[in-house]
Structure 1
Amino acid sequence: MPLPNWDAAPVKPVDEQPVNIKADWWRDEIRARGLPGTPPAGNRLTRADVWAPADDVFTLLWRTLAWGSGPRNRLNRSRLAAIAADVPRCEDLLTKAADLSRRDPAAAFALFRPGDTNEIRYLGPSFFTKFLYFAGGGAPGHPCLILDRRVATALRDRYGWTSLHRRGPWPAETYERYCDLLARWAREAGCAADQIELWLFNNFSANRN
């Protein structure tokens, strides 16, 4: 697939992309279940806030989920309940996935979805790829990127990846191809791969079939 002819405003750094969240909800729900990690503070998160160093994988996950959900918390109670049901197993999975995210997108993805089901219930690709992305801490060249239905829709409907399902779930091999594609486009465009991901996210709706 060739690099798109950018027909929108030039891509910008993604660090300060803001999302409004319900911090009190996250604090209360996490504490009520006795879950580890620090809930997000403040009712606004940027990508830079999520990237900020965390002492444990659960703090990173709570920030990721809050940023990805925004003011809507659909399914988050179910996600938290699934994690609370087996905290040690989830901690091991998150730790291994965060480590793999720095060098092997397909293997990291496959930890969360090794077959036809998610390893953590209600935590599907649109959310766990956010975790894989943020596990990089904003490092340039981090190979894992966010893949969700808006990005997939833009790639399919606007830029010709006709075999890419709009809503997923996607196999690990497809995720690896996606990360490789955006990395190549970024090199050709002279920008960061997550800038292209955000550009696709913001331009998913035009010219839809």
Structure 2
Amino acid sequence: MTAGLNDTAAQRCDYRTLLPDDASVYDRGVVEGGLAPEEQGWLRQQRLEWELRSGGHRGAEDLVSGHSIGIVPARWAKFNQWLPFDAAATSPPALNRGEVTKVALRCRESELWLPLLVTSFAWGWGNRGFGPIRLRWVLNGKGGSPGLSSNEIEERLAAAVDALDQQGARSAYQLLLNAGKISEFGPAFFTKFLYFASRTGQGRCPALILDGRLARQMRGFWERRANEPYAENGSSARWLWQGPRWSDYRYQIYRTFMVRSASQLSESGDRWIPELVELLLFRATRAV
């Protein structure tokens, strides 16, 4: 099983099939209108710069898989049993998306998903100091309130992956947001978990990471279209993309826009995938 979408899955990953039937006029207009020429140009320039940093021209999947985050191993020592690196190491490792995906593959084989939760969490936090504390809250509870048992967490993660495989990313997102919620494990991090789980599956569009930084980029796209006729009676872009608990509908709109963007960018000849658009938007130091 390989990372990324195969050709058959890519054919089914069409924004027109992902766009919710109940999409608002504003959301539908932004998605169907797609990226403006200047936005496409900006993203192509960002890709070029990322390719240069990564050693030259490479395919979209390789560019995404090579995206690495620095880790301070000692901070994660209490979670060593689930991690793909040695928390006792003296030199800080860099954990990339490809390596986290390998953890997801092993989780699929074992049908145990805690290693992916912990590894994707460490990858997401990188060298920021608060990450291990937040992970302890997820696994053990917060402020004297006991958390879920490890078995219950495993069951909820497995149910989310089953929903991801059988129904798609929106259903999995909705489950972890509501009925299958894990305390202190919000969308900014459970979408990372779902994203890596989806990289090991086949036949469906990927789950995509959505956090505050990416939501601000989406708000920018919507704000730049606020004077279009279709936006006349819509809510403000700031309100639409206000987090940190975006609705499953908003998550699906986000995914649809990213799939639409990748399709547009691919028209120039270079292959683009939604994950690459997400990566470049996340890395940006300013709004597009």
Same fold (TM over 0.5): yes
Instruction: Identify the match of residue 181 of structure 1 among 257, 261, 267.
Output: 257
Residues 157 and 80 from structure 1, CA distance in 2 versus in 1: closer, same or farther, beyond 3 angstroms?
same
Q: Residue 105 of structure 1: CA displacement?
A: 1.6
Is residue 54 from structure 1 mapped to residue 54 from structure 2 by the alignment?
A: no
Q: CA RMSD in A?
A: 2.5
Is residue 40 from structure 1 mapped to residue 84 from structure 2 by the alignment?
A: yes
Q: Residue 150 of structure 1: CA displacement?
A: 0.6
Return the structure number with greater helix share: 2
Higher relative contact order (Cα pairs below 8 Å, separated by 6+ residues)? 2
Alignment of 1:13-162 (within 5 A): 13-26=63-76, 28-30=77-79, 38-41=82-85, 43-52=93-102, 53-55=105-107, 56-74=112-130, 75-82=134-141, 85-102=148-165, 103-114=167-178, 119-137=181-199, 142-160=205-223, 162=237
Q: Is the 8 A contact 2:139 2:150 kept in 1?
A: no
The equivalent of 1:34 in structure 2 is none
The amino acid of 1:110's aligned partner reads Q
The amino acid of 2:282's aligned partner reads F
Report the more deviating stretch, 66-75 or 93-102: 93-102
TM-score where L is the length of structure 1: 0.83
Q: Is the 8 A contact 1:133 1:142 kept in 2?
A: no
The amino acid of 1:200's aligned partner reads L
Q: Residue 186 of structure 1: CA displacement?
A: 1.2
Q: Following the alignment from structure 1 to structure 2, what is the Cα–Cα distance between the partners of residues 138 and 202? A: 24
The amino acid of 1:187's aligned partner reads S
Instruction: Identify the match of residue 3 of structure 1 among 35, 38, 55.
Output: 35
The amino acid of 2:85's aligned partner reads A
The amino acid of 2:70's aligned partner reads N
The amino acid of 1:185's aligned partner reads S
Q: Residue 139 of structure 1: CA displacement?
A: 5.9
Question: Which consecutive residues of structure 2, in runs of 5 or more, have no partner in the other structure?
Answer: 1-29, 48-59, 87-92, 226-236, 267-271
Q: Is the 8 A contact 1:29 1:77 kept in 2?
A: no
The amino acid of 1:112's aligned partner reads L
Residues 72 and 80 from structure 1, CA distance in 2 versus in 1: closer, same or farther, beyond 3 angstroms?
farther
Q: Residue 90 of structure 1: CA displacement?
A: 0.8
The amino acid of 2:169's aligned partner reads P
Q: Residue 67 of structure 1: CA displacement?
A: 0.4
Residues 47 and 183 from structure 1, CA distance in 2 versus in 1: closer, same or farther, beyond 3 angstroms?
same
Q: Is the 8 A contact 2:259 2:274 kept in 1?
A: yes
TM-score where L is the length of structure 2: 0.62
Report the more deviating stretch, 161-170 or 129-138: 161-170
Q: Following the alignment from structure 1 to structure 2, what is the Cα–Cα distance between the partners of residues 10 and 205? A: 12
**Per-residue displacement from partner, 1:180-209 (whole Å, max 9, x unpaired)?**
2211221221110001111211226237xx
**Per-residue displacement from partner, 1:83-136 (whole Å, max 9, x unpaired)?**
964111110111121232244122101111117xx8111111000001110002
3-state DSSP class of the match of 2:207?
coil
| Alignment size in residue pairs | 199
Question: Which consecutive residues of structure 1, in runs of 5 or more, have no partner in the other structure?
Answer: 32-36
